């Protein structure tokens, strides 16, 4: 499957999904004529077109490579890991990926995007006969402005409720200013422990930016937060304007009675994700990931499925 | 659009103001986290002729080697604020006239812009192939083995590299303004 995984990496790195392009265009049209914000989004759109036509990375920071592989029982995870690593090395050689994995202690770049913890791979066994791999390339600038709140938080008056979640998200987007390559997409993970809360936030980023949360309470909060984050006026690149975020996506997990985490995963406008389905030796590529499909299920079923 | 040829005179840089759109022609040199740390710890001499009256670009490019020459495949800016602890000293030591990056920088760098005679030029974050195509030649690379591709000092000859001045030598910063304005809005939205 190495060849199919290599093509998946190329697509993720070079082709921005159509749903993201659409909301960037909407944002561009909402910015004032002749403003730096509008001109910035014009450049963004031209850049995406150029990247796609020339098979070059949309952004030089090809990010953390996050894989979600759904596989049948008959497939070995060790073999899949080997194929993903081989494809990653090849993709680095072909300049679809920048050498982006650095030894945190020695400072040495491994040169091929592999090493302890790189790439990030999550496996899920399922009852289907096909294999589906989702890939996201998440840039470091946006990762650096991501945040985690432990509620209650006195500084922003955030308690352990929906209002507390709302305050945390607005505060995190404010703190990010223009440093995360906005307009961003905001993934929110409520509950869990410190690690799984942020994993939930990142999984939210696989959703289509224009989908609707099947949970009416969360759907309402997503809509409110989209409007309120845009009221901040930070705008594209932090140049000012009405397009500060492109979407807000919220998911929740059970927590301990002692803990209440709100994790905010900021994703830059270069929201690079792609998916491949492999059945009977044939690969079919898609811009809609398996993670996004979950959101067509009713809320209760989706929660049970995790 | 204001054309700036590099190297550039201090008096020409002092004419630039926040909001000016600029196109660069000449040599710019990439330096990011490891390069900045190294500069302030060792003050390497080889850097001086590269950036004196010149430009530092916060960028870790995707590069492709064909034969002996390197080509910039994708070369957008990285987040500049990480260099805030180092930049003012680097600007003063080497007399750097332009800092190019994204996201803006803080009060120390803003003061250095005033004292040294320099501006901060904001490039479009993520516009990597678009900016790479303004690199007409990779003139040289320094400390590639030690620092790796993203962190090495790459000497790029550019023709028409675009950016917008967001911090000038008069002490104005678009980023500081927006921070103030958006803080008021945050407080109102949150209700504190």
Instruction: Give the one of B19, B74, B122 whose C-beta lies nearest to A237's C-beta.
Output: B122
Report pLDDT for A302: 43
Q: So where are chain B's domains?
A: 2-190
Asked about B25 being catalytic, the answer comes back as no
What DSSP string runs through chain A? -HHHHHHHHHHHHH---HHHHHHHHHHHHHSPTT-HHHHHHHHHHHHHHHHHHHT--SSS---EEEEEEEE-TTS-HHHHHHHHHHHHHHHHHTTSS----B-TTT--B-SSS-BTTBSEEEEEE-SSSSEEEEEEEE-HHHHHT-EEEESSBGGGTB-SSHHHHHHHHHHHHHHHTTTT-SSEEEEEEESS-HHHHHHHHHHHTTS-TT---SSHHHHHHHHHHHHHHHHT---GGGS-SS-SEEEEEEEE----TT--EEEEEEE-S--EEEEEEEETTEEEEESS-HHHHGGGS-HHHHHHH-
pLDDT at A299 > cutoff 90: no
CB contact, 8 Å: A144 with chain B?
A: yes
Report pLDDT for A296: 59
For residue A60, list chain B residues with Cβ-Cβ distance below 8 A: 59-62, 73-76, 128, 132, 150
For residue B122, list chain A residues with Cβ-Cβ distance below 8 A: 237, 239
For residue B126, list chain A residues with Cβ-Cβ distance below 8 A: 44, 47, 58-59, 139, 181, 268-270
CB contact, 8 Å: A178 with chain B?
A: yes
Residue B140 Cα, gap to closest chain A Cα (Å): 19
Report pLDDT for A121: 98
Q: So where are chain A's domains?
A: 2-16+58-139+271-287, 141-269
Segment 186-225 of chain A within 8 Å of chain B by CB: none
The fold of the B2-190 domain, in CATH, is: fumarase (3.20.130)
CATH architecture of the domain A2-16+58-139+271-287 equals 2-Layer Sandwich (3.30)
Report pLDDT for A301: 40
For residue B192, list chain A residues with Cβ-Cβ distance below 8 A: 156-157
pLDDT in tens, chain B (192 residues): 999 999 999 999 999 999 999 999 999 999 999 999 999 999 999 999 999 999 999 999 999 999 999 999 999 999 999 999 999 999 999 999 999 999 999 999 999 999 999 999 999 999 999 999 999 999 999 999 999 999 999 999 999 999 999 999 999 999 999 999 999 999 999 998
């Amino acid at each position: 499957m190495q060849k199919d995984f290599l093509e998946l990496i190329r697509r993720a790195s070079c082709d921005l999904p159509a749903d993201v392009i659409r909301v960037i265009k909407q944002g561009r049209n909402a910015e004032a004529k002749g403003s730096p914000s509008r001109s910035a989004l014009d450049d963004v759109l031209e850049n995406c077109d150029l990247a796609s036509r020339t098979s070059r990375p949309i952004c030089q920071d090809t990010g953390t490579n996050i894989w979600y592989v759904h596989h049948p029982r008959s497939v070995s995870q060790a073999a899949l890991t080997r194929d993903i690593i081989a494809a990653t090395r090849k993709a680095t050689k072909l300049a679809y990926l920048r050498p982006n994995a650095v030894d945190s202690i020695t400072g040495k770049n491994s040169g091929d995007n592999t090493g302890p913890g790189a790439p990030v791979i999550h496996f899920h066994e399922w009852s289907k006969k096909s294999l589906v791999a989702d890939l996201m390339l998440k840039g470091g600038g946006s990762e650096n402005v991501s945040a985690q709140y432990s509620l209650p938080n006195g500084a922003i008056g955030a308690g352990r409720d929906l209002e507390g979640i709302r305050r945390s998200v607005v505060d995190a987007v404010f703190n990010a200013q223009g440093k995360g390559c906005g307009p961003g997409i905001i993934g929110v993970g409520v509950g869990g422990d410190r690690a799984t809360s942020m994993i939930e936030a990142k999984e939210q980023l696989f959703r289509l930016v224009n989908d609707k949360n099947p949970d009416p309470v969360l759907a309402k909060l997503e809509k409110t937060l989209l409007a309120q984050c845009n009221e901040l006026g930070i705008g594209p690149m932090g140049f000012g304007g009405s397009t500060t975020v492109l979407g807000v996506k919220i998911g929740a997990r059970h927590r301990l009675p002692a803990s209440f985490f709100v994790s905010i995963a900021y994703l830059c406008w270069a929201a690079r994700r792609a998916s491949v389905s492999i059945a009977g030796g044939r690969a079919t590529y898609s811009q809609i990931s398996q993670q996004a499909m979950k959101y067509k299920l009713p809320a209760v079923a989706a929660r049970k499925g995790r | 659009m204001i054309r700036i040829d590099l190297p550039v005179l201090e008096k020409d840089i002092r004419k630039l103001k926040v909001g000016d759109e600029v196109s660069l022609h000449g040599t710019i040199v990439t330096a990011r986290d490891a390069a900045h740390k190294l500069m302030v710890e060792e003050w390497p001499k080889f850097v001086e002729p590269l950036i004196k009256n010149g430009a530092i670009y916060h960028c870790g490019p995707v590069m492709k080697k064909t034969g002996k020459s390197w080509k910039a495949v994708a070369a957008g800016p990285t987040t500049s604020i990480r260099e805030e602890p180092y930049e003012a000293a680097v600007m003063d030591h080497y007399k750097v006239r332009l800092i190019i990056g994204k996201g803006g920088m803080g009060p120390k760098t803003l003061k250095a812009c005033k004292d040294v005679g320099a501006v901060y030029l904001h490039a479009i974050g993520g516009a990597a192939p678009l900016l790479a195509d303004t690199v007409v030649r990779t003139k040289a690379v320094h400390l590639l083995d030690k620092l790796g591709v993203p962190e090495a000092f790459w000497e790029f000859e550019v023709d028409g590299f675009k950016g917008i001045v967001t911090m000038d030598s008069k002490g104005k910063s678009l980023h500081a303004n927006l921070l103030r304005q958006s803080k008021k809005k945050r407080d109102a939205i949150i209700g504190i």
